[in-house]
């Protein structure tokens, strides 16, 4: 059964469209390699593990399910270091100095933490905006890296606007993982860092037929799509973008045939994906290049967290979204057929975060993350 998930085959998909100059101006294999060279030089870098979830694959009736486990990426417990921190480094390099530089962004938690960590690495001031439903635990984790955290009413998109207004008033530089008219250079660096995930996975032996990837504003999905689209063209894996059903701006945009925002409080346990407005840069790639969009309810994410805990993996609410989407699709005959999920399918999911808020993790799973999975030596 689909468990309340909804699937939309992308009506604008053009799998035979070449990855041309317009697409490479946003993201490219060459720039992904450049990002990898920079990030792999950081202290503490190592590729995150690519795990084979054999029991889940067998239950789903597919050949393989690979799960790239980002729970121990640097000090951040999430993939976001590849984006926010890399963009801060690029910014400082372009300026030639960190003197007088203050960076700012809005966040649901992980991106702001990455920007704060990257700022501290380079001696840059950081002011991070969080909205009213971001947990105290996630706000405290950002502040622990020396950033000033400012809480504003409303949802993620309200925090984006507050950060932009403060940047304009104070001469700060926005380091955002989303883009809008007149602001698109730094988000390219953020998304380009995310493509390192696909580069690492390929080096670890991943040869997926399908990728189930988190939505949010679309930056991660676009980064991973760009890698496979430019490298493999029409023979690339089927890419399915997975969002919370309470924050499904990408699916709604695909259904409308144009960039579209969704309103409301965007209240979902998948806090890192609680975004109502797509990144325009990401949408420029996802609109013609993603195969399908899924929206899933919170209960599927929570169930997948508990399933992975049984496998000895502590995975956060947003981190399991791709895998939860796959499980829902694999359990629904119509979705299986629409996506070609047969016995030979090889699935790649990105476990984008670990237990980034220990209290919320304990509430959902019923165990402490430290009891589920030990920190690596």
Q: How many residues does the chain have?
A: 377
| DSSP-based three-state secondary structure for 228 | helix
Whether the pLDDT of residue 181 is over 80: the answer is: yes
Compute the Cα dihedral for 199, 204, 209, 210 and give only its sign: negative
Give residue 3's pLDDT: 80
Whether the pLDDT of residue 40 is over 90: the answer is: yes
Q: pTM of the entire structure? A: 0.94
Catalytic entry in 31, 80, 157, 357: 80
CA atoms within 13 A on the CB side of 334: 7
pLDDT, one tens digit per residue, over 261-289 is 998 888 899 988 998 999 999 999 999 99
Cα 233 from Cα 250, distance rounded (Å): 22
CA atoms within 13 A on the CB side of 60: 28
pLDDT, one tens digit per residue, over 287-340 is 999 999 999 999 999 999 999 999 999 999 999 999 999 999 999 999 999 999
Domains of the chain and any CATH numbers: 6-79+190-372 (3.40.50.1100), 84-176 (3.40.50.1100)
Q: How far from 63 is each of 68, 305, 308, 338, 344, CA to CA, in Å?
A: 17, 22, 19, 18, 5
Q: Can 80 be counted among the known catalytic residues?
A: yes
Give residue 344's pLDDT: 98
Whether the pLDDT of residue 109 is over 90: the answer is: no
Cβ(138)–Cβ(114) below 8 Å: no
Locate tokens 């969002």: which residue? 243
Confidence category of residue 377, pLDDT binned at 50, 70, 90? low
Q: How far from 358 is each of 70, 142, 354, 364, CA to CA, in Å?
A: 16, 14, 9, 10
Catalytic entry in 31, 68, 77, 108: 108
H helices of the chain, in order, are 21-24, 29-39, 54-60, 84-95, 110-122, 136-143, 156-170, 185-194, 196-203, 219-232, 249-256, 280-289, 298-310, 321-330, 333-339, 358-365, 369-372
Contacts of 151 (CB under 8 A, 6+ apart): 129, 130, 131, 132, 134, 139
Cα 176 from Cα 196, distance rounded (Å): 18
| DSSP-based three-state secondary structure for 231 | helix
Cα 301 from Cα 298, distance rounded (Å): 5
Phi then psi for residue 339, to 5 deg, are -100, -5
Q: How far from 307 is each of 197, 312, 371, CA to CA, in Å?
A: 23, 9, 15
| Token pair recorded at residue 328 | 């829902």
High-pLDDT (> 90) share of the chain, %: 90
Q: Can 374 be counted among the known catalytic residues?
A: no
Whether the pLDDT of residue 69 is over 60: the answer is: yes
Whether the pLDDT of residue 1 is over 60: the answer is: no
């Amino acid at each position: 059964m689909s468990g309340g998930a909804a699937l939309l085959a992308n009506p604008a998909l053009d799998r035979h469209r070449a990855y041309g100059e317009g697409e490479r101006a946003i993201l490219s294999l060459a720039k992904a390699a450049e990002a990898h060279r920079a990030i792999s030089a950081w202290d503490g870098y190592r590729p995150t593990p690519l795990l084979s979830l054999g029991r889940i694959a067998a239950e789903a009736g597919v050949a393989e399910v690979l799960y790239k486990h980002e729970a121990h990426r640097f000090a951040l417990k999430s993939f976001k270091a590849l984006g926010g921190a890399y963009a801060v480094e690029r910014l400082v390099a372009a300026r030639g100095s960190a003197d007088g530089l203050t960076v700012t962004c809005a966040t649901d938690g992980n991106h702001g933490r990455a920007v704060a960590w990257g700022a501290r690495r380079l001696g840059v001031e950081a002011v991070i905006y969080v909205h009213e439903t971001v947990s105290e635990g996630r706000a405290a984790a950002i502040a622990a890296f020396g950033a000033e955290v400012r809480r504003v009413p409303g949802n993620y998109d309200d925090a984006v606007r507050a950060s932009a207004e403060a940047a304009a008033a104070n001469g700060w530089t926005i380091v955002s993982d989303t883009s809008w008219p007149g602001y698109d250079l730094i988000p390219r660096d953020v998304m380009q860092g995310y493509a390192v995930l696909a580069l690492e996975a390929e080096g670890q032996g991943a040869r997926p037929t399908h990728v189930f990837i988190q939505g949010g504003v679309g930056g991660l999905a676009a980064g991973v799509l760009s890698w496979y689209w430019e490298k493999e063209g029409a023979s690339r894996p089927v890419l399915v973008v997975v969002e919370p059903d309470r924050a499904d701006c990408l699916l709604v945009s695909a259904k409308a045939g144009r960039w579209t925002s969704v309103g409301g409080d965007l209240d979902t346990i998948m806090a890192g994906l609680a975004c109502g407005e797509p990144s325009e840069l990401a949408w420029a790639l996802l609109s013609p290049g993603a195969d399908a969009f899924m929206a899933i309810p919170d209960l599927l994410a929570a169930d997948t967290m508990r399933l992975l805990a049984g496998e000895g993996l502590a995975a956060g609410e947003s981190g399991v979204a791709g895998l939860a989407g796959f499980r829902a699709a694999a359990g629904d005959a119509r979705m299986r057929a629409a996506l070609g999920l047969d016995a030979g399918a090889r699935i790649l999911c990105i476990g984008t975060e670990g237990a980034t808020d220990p209290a919320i993790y304990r509430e959902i799973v019923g165990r402490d993350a430290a009891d589920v999975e030990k920190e690596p030596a």
